[in-house]
Amino acid sequence: MAKVFEAADASNLMTELRQSFDAGVTRGYEWRVSQLKKLLIICDNHEPEIVSALHDDLGKPELESSVYEVALLRNSIKLALKQLKNWMAPDKAKTSLTTFPASAQIVSEPLGVVLVISAWNYPFLLSIDPVIGAISAGNAVVLKPSELAPASSSLLSKLLEQYLDPSAVRVVEGAVTETTLLLEQKWDKIFYTGSSRIGRIIMTAAAKHLTPVVLELGGKSPVVIDSDTNLKITVKRIIAGKWGCNNGQACISPDYILTAKEYAPKVINAMKQELEAFYGKNPMESKDMSRIVNSNHFDRLSKILEEKEVSDKIVYGGQKDRDNLKIAPTILLDVPLDSLIMSEEIFGPLLPILTLNNLEECFDVIRSRPKPLAAYLFTQNQKLKERFAMTVSAGGIVVNDIAVHLSLPTLPFGGVGESGMGSYHGKFSFDAFSHKKAVLYKSFIGDAAIRYPPYSRGKLRLLKALVNSNLVEVFKVLLGLS
């Protein structure tokens, strides 16, 4: 029987990791590289076990597991290994007349001991990707995987304990009790991926210690389809980004479609045709789609689908199998705006289509709702692309595709407003776990008497000119012309 994780364990864990950090264990370049290389070995040597765990937890197809979890992690690790020296190097900063003679730089300093609380839908990617940033930045880190993906959580615990330095990297498995005990500790940063409801709990706990947080949440990500789009490719990409990404159980999954009333029938017919081409006439038997994570989420989705004035809006799909936790890809047309399906993040295989009198109305619809983690637009209209990118507020914008911005390490990934705060991926991950420390080096040469009492009108004029970097005025004062 596994030992129960208690308050004393949480306290001792923090003490041990704090001692390692204070002793400088994690600060050196060599330690950081050694741990990143171990993470790469995990990806290279244990991919079959990872794929198997993801299938046990979510019924994920091998392609999704290998590409969207392991391969993306491998890329993140390789990038960190390649760029780490550059990331760690101080950035030079400009100085001014006020500080002359001096030099200045911005030093990336590790925060200390950090906590990563990850999600169940991409349990390896969303656990290890933040850990890559934490280690790259030189922190000691505790990972708390999601208990809703037990096979993945167990494997993460086993592999990280086997490969990484236990004096500075730990995994704590468990549920609400364990997470609560961890949140009672004083962390230097908390990185959480999950729902906005739990995000509020995390933020409340962090506030007690003034601990900064990164919250990677979600929201209702809209897809706007213009009538001039390449409809066949558009529909394929929407299906791949919705049902081909963990069966809609993804934070950047398309949550609803907005399109003109007269164009909607074409969109629906194209989606039916491509869904059948992807998953067959009976998608419930397809091996290329994940299942719903557990019975609680299945019941939540069923409740959304069975709500009055929603169930009769189904134009495709709707089949359910609770024993096997499967729900077919389901399209709905013009559900009520105040229904559950339009009030909360769906996080499943249901996709409502809302029709508009004209596409212009999409901006008001999106603006009237909390800011989403992603917003998508399919169009060939350049002016519409530019307006959408400039005026729609979302964590990220993708034009003519779904979710692919996630794979670009040169783009920050994170939310805004209720979809989260802070960002990561690539150097943004390193920065998320670093303090940007201002450092100024001053010489003893050129010490100016004007900064010291007793003050005079002349000193005032000269200091004002120096602070304003006004060389002309400086010379005027020095020459007695001002």
Span 325-339, pLDDT tens digits? 999 999 999 999 999
Q: From start to end of 289-341, where are the E strands?
A: 314-316, 320-321, 326-327, 330-333
Q: Using alpha carbons, select from 32, 119, 201 the residue that is nearest to residue 128.
A: 119
Residue 1 has a pLDDT of 59
For residue 361, which amino acid is it?
A: E
Q: Averaged over 92-97, what is the pLDDT?
A: 91
Residue 471 has a pLDDT of 79
Residue 349: exposure state from Cβ atoms within 10 A (0-12, 13-18, ≥19)? buried
Element (H, E) at 365: helix 362-367
Is residue 251 part of the annotated active site? The answer reads yes
Contacts of 348 (CB under 8 A, 6+ apart): 247, 248, 249, 292, 297, 301, 304, 327
The Cα–Cα gap between 130 and 80 comes to 12
Tell me how far apart the terminal alpha carbons of the chain are, to the nearest angstrom.
84
Share of the chain above pLDDT 90, in %: 90
Q: Which two tokens stand for residue 74?
A: 């491998």
| Residue with the larger pLDDT of the pair 2 and 158 | 158
User: How many Å separate Cα 475 from the centre of its chain?
Assistant: 53
Residue 464 has a pLDDT of 86
Residue 478 has a pLDDT of 74
Contacts of 335 (CB under 8 A, 6+ apart): 309, 310, 313, 341, 342, 352, 354
Q: Which of 64, 178, 216, 274 is catalytic?
A: 216
Using an 8 Å Cβ cutoff, are 386 and 366 in contact? no
The Cα–Cα gap between 108 and 106 comes to 7
Q: Classify 172 as helix, strand or coil.
A: coil
Q: Which two tokens stand for residue 420?
A: 């989260």
The Cα–Cα gap between 22 and 325 comes to 48
What does the DSSP 8-state code read for residue 283?
G
pLDDT band at 117 (very low <50, low <70, confident <90, very high): very high
Is residue 245 part of the annotated active site? The answer reads no
Residue 2 has a pLDDT of 64
Residue 99 has a pLDDT of 86
The answer, yes or no, to whether residue 286 has pLDDT greater than 70, is: yes
How much is the mean pLDDT over the chain? 95
Residue 447 has a pLDDT of 84
**Cα dist from 166 to 17, 25, 77, 139, 173, whole Å:** 9, 11, 19, 13, 15
Span 50-62, pLDDT tens digits? 999 999 999 999 9
Residue 196 has a pLDDT of 93
Contacts of 107 (CB under 8 A, 6+ apart): 90, 436, 437, 439
Span 180-237, pLDDT tens digits? 999 999 999 999 999 999 999 999 999 999 999 999 999 999 999 999 999 999 999 9
For residue 77, which amino acid is it?
A: I
The Cα–Cα gap between 407 and 426 comes to 10
* Helix axis angle, 72-88 to 125-136, nearest 10°: 10
What does the DSSP 8-state code read for residue 67?
I
Q: Classify 104 as helix, strand or coil.
A: strand
Q: Using alpha carbons, select from 68, 20, 21, 37 the residue that is nearest to residue 132.
A: 37
Total residues belonging to the chain: 482
Element (H, E) at 143: strand 140-144
Q: Which of 251, 274, 345, 362 is catalytic?
A: 251
Q: Averaged over 33-55, what is the pLDDT?
A: 98
pLDDT band at 14 (very low <50, low <70, confident <90, very high): very high
Residue 93 has a pLDDT of 96
The Cα–Cα gap between 299 and 404 comes to 30
The Cα–Cα gap between 280 and 346 comes to 24
Residue 198: exposure state from Cβ atoms within 10 A (0-12, 13-18, ≥19)? middle
β-bridge pairing 140-144 and 113-117: parallel
- Dump the DSSP string for 209-251: TT--EEEE----EEEEE-TTS-HHHHHHHHHHHHTTTGGG-ST
Contacts of 382 (CB under 8 A, 6+ apart): none
The answer, yes or no, to whether residue 82 has pLDDT greater than 90, is: yes
Q: Averaged over 453-481, what is the pLDDT?
A: 82
**Cα dist from 169 to 131, 134, 208, whole Å:** 9, 10, 24
Residue 373 has a pLDDT of 97
Backbone angles phi, psi at 445, to 5 degrees: -75, 145
Span 303-327, pLDDT tens digits? 999 998 999 999 999 999 999 999 9
Residue 458 has a pLDDT of 86
Element (H, E) at 253: none
Using an 8 Å Cβ cutoff, are 88 and 116 in contact? no
Residue 168 has a pLDDT of 98
Q: Which two tokens stand for residue 78?
A: 């390789």
Span 125-153, pLDDT tens digits? 999 999 999 999 999 999 999 999 999 99
